[in-house]
Structures are given as C-alpha cells and as structure tokens.
C-alpha cells in the first residue's frame, strides 16, 4: 500500500523537511542495497548497526524521501521526515496501510508451531484465494516484518494477509495487533519460550493473549490450558482445534476442528457432528495439531469440507521443520532445528519415535531464553528422549549436561549419551558411527546453527 506524504505525516506525527521535493507516494524500504529510484529509505537502528549512517548513500542510489530520527542524517534537497523512533514510525505506516486494505487479515502467534501453521493455512486458504494471498515470508514476525508486509499489501492484488507474530518482550503481540487489526487470530499454544526475557509465565500469557486485543475471532488449541482458562474472557465464541483422541477434557462449546489421526477429521458445530476421511501426510501429533488449526482457519473463511479434504494430501511442511534429508551413506537426517523450546523438542521426539529405522539417534542442542527454569526444562527434555527410547543421544550447547542428566535419570545408559562441543565434532561422530538406514534427528535452538551439521554431512 503506497501512502501519500500527508497520510504518512498524519500516521507518524513527523516533522517535514524539504517537503516540496516529496514523491507522490511513499514506497518504503529499509536496506540501501535494494533501493530503486524513487523509493523511500527508512533508517532503522539495531544493536550492531545504524542505518542513519547510510542516508546519503541511499539518496545517491535514488531514494527520494528519508525517514530518520536524527535531523543530522537529512540530506539537503531530499524530503525528510523526522520522527522520534523509526521503528515505531514503520509500524505506524503499516497501521495506516492496514486501514486502507479492504481484504481480510489472519494473524498467527504461539510459543511453537507458528510458521508451520502459517504455511499450512496459506496452502489451504489458496483453495479460495489462489494467488491473492500475501503471507509473511520465513519468520519475519517482529515489528519490521509485520510493517513490511502491511505496506506491501495491495487492494488490486491481495484479498487476504497472513501475518506471523512473534514476541520477545512483554506486550509485543498487542503492539503488532494494534497495527494489523486482524479479523481472525490463531493461538497455537502458550509454552515456555522466552521466559527469561518475559520475566514470568503470567507475563508470557498476557503477551500471547494480546492477539485478541482488537477483537479478532479466536482459533484456540483445546489442549492448551491457558487458552481454556482465558477463552471465557473473549467477546466472540472461539473455534477450537486439536489433534488426538476426543476426550472429556476438550472444551466442546463453540466450533471444533479435530484430527483424531492421520486419516480422520471431525468437525463439531453446535449439535452437529461431521466426520471426514483425510490423508494427512504430516509427521507428528504437533504437526497434525498445526494442520487442525489451519483447517479451522479454512472453515472460518468459508471453504467447504470437500475442498479441504482434496487439498490436504498436497500439504507440505516449511523448510527446516521435520525436513527429511537422505544422505549418500543411506543415513536419513531429520532436520527440525529452525528453533526450539521444551514443548517443541518433546513433540519432535514423539514424532521421531514413530520412525522405522534400525537405530534412532537424537542429536540435541540446548534451548535458549528459558530463564530460571532452563536447567529443569533441559532435564525434562533429556528424560523425554530416553522415554521415547532413542538408541543414542548426542548433546551439545550450554545445557548439554542437563540434557544428559535427564536422559540418564530416565534410564538411558551413559555409554549411549555422547557430548559434542562443536558442530564439526557432531558431524564427525555421525559420519563415523551412523549406519545405512539409521535415522538422525537434529533439534535445538537456532543459535547453535545445526544446519552446519547438515552441510558438513552432505559434502
């Protein structure tokens, strides 16, 4: 969505310099390397960079308008908007663009499963919207990513926006929601991610629940205790989803989309129950729950069950999520290390337990940003790995010792627990010890860059 100068000033409260030279509309970018003539350069500041140092370079490359915090970064003769915070201004501009968008907005957040649910939802919703969907790429889910997507919306091209929203600080989700104003919100779950930064479990819950702060209809996980407890506070009835057997603990008020296995989908709406046979080719109960959430979103957008049933067999996981990689040696890598928290680690191990292989080797790196409970959570994950009966467990990262302790306490012999200090060392162990047919799960926090192990083993 291209905003005029007046609309942009109204949204940001900016002071204008050299306004006579302004372009008719603002086409905002934040990277001087991608600037095209006539665009607007918004100078962001980060921990290790300050784009204010590149405003003159941006103008030399064709920028016709600058948005900055520091008046000293203005370039004489180029229209410049002076704002208090360029990050907030970016979000304000995104909010102004959202106000002009005539289509619908779906927002997705949660401690785990956001990106997978977004990918599944985009694939199912394409049944109705085709290529008129604009979805967040990769995991661009902070103020920058959300602002970028809102400004990229175009009423001539798009009827639906799908936004992923992440939170690293208290209140982050509500900040994003105030700009995006979603019609529909999926909360995948409330786990233990970012507790170190959030400060407490309660603050984490409040932050995630911010998804519904502007009135979005809720799609909630019927296995999530936070959602069950907080749902009565919502003004609109929720659409529930879950994977697994239907039990008495499932809140059946409102609408429900349930996958009771990889071949059955149950839809409950008031007094009517409808069952469908499906072919859900996604590994693990957690991924089937993500698929159930996407099915709920499709139903909320008016897509008929028979259309959903036909689309499900073509559903694909996004890159880095339980990605199966066959090596020339005959070893199968399962790369699921885009990120990790305790619930996600244990869910991946549960899916891995269903792999038919001579040996199942779990290569686990530590998790990050878990706060005071980090050691205990790592012991729980290690114990869960042992309970799923992995044959060998490799452990690395800051809490490798706690992963190993949890596994030993749950009965995995010490000789089958292998510590590694570097990814190169882990790759060497797999190359030297894994045999044809063995399955190796790679799971851990993004900070440990386990993709390096994949790259090394592919050489």
Same domain, 255 and 137: yes
The answer to whether residue 94 is domain-embedded is no
Number of domains in the chain: 3
Confidence of residue 233 (pLDDT cuts 50, 70, 90): very high
Same domain, yes or no: 298 and 379: no
Model confidence at 48, pLDDT cuts 50, 70, 90, reads: confident
Last residue of a domain, one of 86, 118, 145: 86
Residue 292 lies in a domain: yes
230 domain residue, yes or no: yes
Number of Cα atoms under 13 Å in the Cβ half of residue 295: 34
d(CA 349, CA 267): 28
- In 3D space, the residue among 254, 171, 255 whose CA is nearest the CA of residue 213 turns out to be 171
- What is the domain-level CATH number for residue 136? 3.40.1190.10
Could you give phi then psi for residue 38, rounded to 5 degrees?
95, -10
Say which residue the tokens 């001539």 belong to.
156
User: What gap in Å lies between CA 354 and CA 282, rounded to an integer?
Assistant: 12
- Write out the E strands in 152-290: 160-164, 184-187, 217-221, 239-243, 255-259, 264-269, 272-277
Tens-digit pLDDT profile for residues 75-114: 999 999 999 999 999 999 999 999 999 999 999 999 889 9
Q: Using one digit for the tens of pLDDT, what is the confidence trace for 246-263?
A: 665 666 567 899 998 889
- Enter the pTM of the model: 0.88
- Give yes or no: residues 15 and 137 share one domain: no
Is pLDDT above 80 for 245? no
The residue among 27, 58, 86 that closes a domain is: 86
Q: In terms of domains, do 131 and 214 share one?
A: yes
287 and 138 within one domain: yes
Query: Do 376 and 259 fall within a single domain?
Result: no
Final residue belonging to a domain, choices 292, 314, 336: 314
Looking up residue 60, the CATH number of its domain turns out to be: 3.40.1390.10
364 in the same domain as 284: no
Residues 162 and 271 in one domain: yes
Given a contact cutoff of 8 angstroms between Cβ atoms, the answer to whether 194 and 205 are in contact is no
Q: What is the mean pLDDT of residues 306-329?
A: 94
Q: Are residues 354 and 331 in the same domain?
A: yes
Query: Please, which residues bridge with residue 158 across strands?
Result: none
DSSP secondary structure letter of residue 126: H
Read off the tokens for 129: 């919207």
Average pLDDT over residues 8-13: 97
Q: Identify whether 174 is part of a domain.
A: yes
Across the range 336-361, mean pLDDT stands at 92
Residues 135, 81 share a domain: no
The whole domain housing 69 covers 5-86
Percentage of residues of the chain with pLDDT beyond 90:
83
Query: What order of strands is seen across the sheet that includes strand 15-17?
Result: 15-17, 79-82, 65-68, 40-42, 28-29
Element containing residue 41 per DSSP (H, E)? strand 40-42
Same domain (yes/no): 149, 281 = yes
12 within a domain of the structure (yes/no): yes
Query: Do 294 and 185 share a structural domain?
Result: yes
Report the SS3 class of residue 255: strand
């Amino acid at each position: 969505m291209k905003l005029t100068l007046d609309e942009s000033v109204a949204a940001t409260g900016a002071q204008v310099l050299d306004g006579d030279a302004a372009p008719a509309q603002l086409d905002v970018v934040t990277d001087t390397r991608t600037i095209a003539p006539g665009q607007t350069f918004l100078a962001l500041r980060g921990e290790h960079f300050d784009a204010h140092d590149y405003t003159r370079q941006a103008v030399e490359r064709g920028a016709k308008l600058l948005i900055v915090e520091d008046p000293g970064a203005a370039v004489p003769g180029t229209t410049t908007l002076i704002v208090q915070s360029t990050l907030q201004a970016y979000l304000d501009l995104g909010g102004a663009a959202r106000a002009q968008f005539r289509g619908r907005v779906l927002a997705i957040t949660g401690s785990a499963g956001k990106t997978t649910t977004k990918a599944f939802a985009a694939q199912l919703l394409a049944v109705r919207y085709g290529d008129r969907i604009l979805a967040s790429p990769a995991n661009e889910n902070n103020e920058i990513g959300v602002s970028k997507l809102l400004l990229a919306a175009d009423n001539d091209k798009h009827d639906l926006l799908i936004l992923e929203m992440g939170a690293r600080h208290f209140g982050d989700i509500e900040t994003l929601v105030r700009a995006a104003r979603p019609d529909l919100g999926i909360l995948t779950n409330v786990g233990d991610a970012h507790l170190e930064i959030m400060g407490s479990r309660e603050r984490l819950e409040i932050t995630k629940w911010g998804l519904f702060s502007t009135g979005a209809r809720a799609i909630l996980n019927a296995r999530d205790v936070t959602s069950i407890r907080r749902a009565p506070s919502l003004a609109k009835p929720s659409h529930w989803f879950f994977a697994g057997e239907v039990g008495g603990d499932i809140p059946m008020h409102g609408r429900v989309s349930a996958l009771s296995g990889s071949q059955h989908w149950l839809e409950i709406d008031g007094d009517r129950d409808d069952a469908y046979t499906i072919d859900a080719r996604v590994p693990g109960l957690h991924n089937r729950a993500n698929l159930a959430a996407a099915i709920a979103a499709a139903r909320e957008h008016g897509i008929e069950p028979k259309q959903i049933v036909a689309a499900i067999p073509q559903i694909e996981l996004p890159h880095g999520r339980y990605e199966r990689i066959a090596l020339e040696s005959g070893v199968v890598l399962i790369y699921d290390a885009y990120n990790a928290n305790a619930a996600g680690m244990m869910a991946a191990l549960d899916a891995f337990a269903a792999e038919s292989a001579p040996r199942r080797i779990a290569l686990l790196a530590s998790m990050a940003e878990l706060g005071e409970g980090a050691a205990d959570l790592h012991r729980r994950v290690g114990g869960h790995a042992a309970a799923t009966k992995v044959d060998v467990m490799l452990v690395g990262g800051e809490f490798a010792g706690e992963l190993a302790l949890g596994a030993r306490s749950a009965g995995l012999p010490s000789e089958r627990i292998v510590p590694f200090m570097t990814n190169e060392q882990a790759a060497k162990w797999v190359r030297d010890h894994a045999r044809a047919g063995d399955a190796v799960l790679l799971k851990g926090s993004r900070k440990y860059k386990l993709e390096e192990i994949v790259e090394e083993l592919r050489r």
